[in-house]
Chains A and B, each alone.
Chain A
């Protein structure tokens, strides 16, 4: 090693001292600005985890989502912590379980005062933020000060319409005659990312698709009508909506399961087409490398599994969600699948970690950045599943803990507590709780559930 002169030593000491001082005074966000990625989070509604072309679906074509999987990390064991729209949406925004953010069902309101979203931290880190699309949480329209653009809708109780859905654009109600909502929202999203600004952006694009009443755009209507549906579960039949407790909200049971399913797939294809358009726009703008694109759904969906069409009853297809992250500058070894359990509550800590923003101290989730960097394969061993009563839907309030191999469920009311083997019994039909295996697992499962709940359960 070369000997330093006294002058060099003094100079270096001074630089180090200055560096330390600057690091202490100047916000980390400014120092990290060079590395701050743009962020796009795309949320679909009721999209099953396995409804992507790259997951081997028999006929569904999803080149956009397949591209994200090819160029990023595909979390194939991703879950929602509550399989219901509003609570899951609040979990994405806050990084919290439903019992902490308070949006427990589709009736309990979002609390502006209590809940901080990851937008707040990103704003402090120098981002300009936009929320475009479906908000769908009970209560008044939120006032999120850290949003620079807020485009949403409140039609049909916040569900919106596929066609002609009026939008509330920065507080101003605007009619959208002739517009197909997936395309309309994507137009606004592209407009936002094209705005010239020295700041990085965070875009939260929340689609209505593919929630019922599935309506594809006219040019995609019927594209799958001749497809063979024999791959649907054995217990599926055309009039599942005639089963007790299945048809709520006055839905006349005239549309068959098969017809609805095909419309679901066509609406999903329409979404993917818009995703392709958005990704192409990133390419055109030359910002693909430095833009983290995350795609997920609020919950899964059953298409005939355990004779259900819906999402509320706990089962693998309802709990599992698609979760894809593409960030060319921030992913090591892209194109791989991660088997570790990722959750909706991980979105907020992950985005803040990628952005170099201050973490949300009240978050229940864990940053997935180490997985993206290929430093870790998994970030957790178990997670809490909770579903609060959502009257009049015929599903009991329930709390459970899911590990990589089993789920332990406790229910309000008369239903017996249960342990299911999630790999051998994804429909959660074969209750192991009274078997020797179940009995031996029960104490540890109870301990994990109590640990996750921290006293927030129903006390059963």
Chain B
């Protein structure tokens, strides 16, 4: 696919994958570290403000960093598989961190199954898929506008992924306030573990 884009040079693996994805991961790790080390702030107002800001930034960082990682990798000539893998690096690391964390009190099987819970992991993964589809189409549009890409900006594959992502997000979070999704999740849990 990248051959269709004039002006995009395929750079080294370090530049096209490791730097964008690694930087995003590092950013998350730093934010995560900071979020857990603000207890030293004595002033109540400053502490509260800092906790609010850091946790909001962390939340939106997790939600949106894949969009920018995908775009950066796209422009460095990374292939589709690399772009997807690089964009999911931070969410997957986050999922691994969650599995390790909950394994403190759940069995190994339950800890992995925890990732299928709507919030935080499954929802993040589904959201990310839709976001990458949007990022793909916007990148194409960007190059098309500059006459560097001759194909269509909007094609079936990313469009279907985006629509499926929106439907799933609606079902997971908005339909019945997430109650039905949670009910199904728990029914599967009971079948597997009870």
Q: In the complex, which of the residues A242, A250, A411 contacts B59, with contact meaning CB atoms closer than 8 Å?
A: A242
Within the complex, the shortest CB–CB distance from B45 to chain A, in Å, comes to 9
Cross-chain contact B106 with A250 (CB below 8 angstroms): no
User: Which residue of A is nearest B194, CB measured?
Assistant: A107
Q: A392-B117, A415-B105 are in contact. Are A236 and B48 (CB under 8 A)?
A: yes
Query: In the complex, A414→B107 CA distance in Å?
Result: 11
Cβ-based interface call for A252 (8 A): yes
Question: Which chain A residues lie closer than 8 Å to B190 at the CB level?
Answer: 107
A156-B179, A157-B183, A237-B48 are contacts. A253–B59 as well, Cβ < 8 Å? yes
Give the complex CA separation of A149 and B52 in angstroms.
49
A314 to chain B: closest CB distance in Å? 13
Expressed in whole angstroms, the Cα–Cα distance for A156 and B102 within the complex equals: 27
Q: Give Cα A238–Cα B193 distance, bound, in whole angstroms.
A: 35
Chain A residues near B47 (CB-CB < 8 A): 234, 237
B22 at interface (Cβ–Cβ under 8 A)? no
CB of A230 closer than 8 Å to a CB of B: yes
Q: Which residues of B contact A252 (CB under 8 A)?
A: 119, 173, 178
Within 8 A of B (CB), among A190-249: 230, 234-239, 242-245, 247-249
A251 x B178 contact (CB < 8 A): yes
- For B186, the chain A residues whose CB sits under 8 A away are 107
Contact of B177 with A by CB under 8 A: yes
Q: Is the CB of B104 within 8 A of A242?
A: no
- Of the listed residues A237, A242, A391, the one surrounded by the most CB atoms of chain B closer than 10 A to its CB is A391
State how many angstroms separate the Cβ of A140 from the closest Cβ of chain B.
16
Is residue A389 contacting chain B, with contact meaning CB distance below 8 A? yes
Q: Given that A107-B194, A391-B189 are known contacts, is A250 also in contact with B105, CB under 8 Å in the complex? A: no
Partner of B181, one of A235, A250, A392, A395: A250
Task: Determine the residue in chain B with the shortest Cβ distance to A413.
Answer: B105
* Choice from A234, A247, A392, A394 contacting B44 with Cβ under 8 Å: A234
Interface string of A139-180 (1 = CB under 8 A from B): 000000000000000001100000000000000000000000
Asked whether B88 is an interface residue with its Cβ less than 8 Å from the other chain, the reply is no
A251-269 Cβ-contact flags toward B at 8 Å (1 or 0): 1110000000000000000
Given the complex, which residues of B lie within 8 Å of A235, measured CB to CB? 39
Which B-chain residue is minimally distant from A307 (CB atoms)?
B51
Q: What A residues does B172 contact at CB under 8 A?
A: 250
Within the complex, the shortest CB–CB distance from B72 to chain A, in Å, comes to: 26
Alpha-carbon distance A167/B177, docked complex (angstroms): 21
Interface contact B105-A389, CB-CB below 8 Å: yes
Asked if residues A250 and B182 are in contact (CB atoms below 8 Å), the reply is yes
Q: Are A249 and B104 in contact (CB under 8 A)?
A: no
Q: Give Cα A215–Cα B48 distance, bound, in whole angstroms.
A: 26
Residue B29 is within 8 A (CB to CB) of chain A in the complex:
no
Residues of A in contact with B (beta carbons under 8 Å apart): 107, 156-157, 230, 234-239, 242-245, 247-253, 389, 391-392, 394-397, 411-415
A-B pairs, 5 with minimum CB distance: A250-B178, A396-B105, A237-B51, A250-B118, A242-B55
* A-B contacts, 5 listed (Cβ < 8 Å): A242-B55, A250-B173, A250-B177, A412-B105, A414-B104
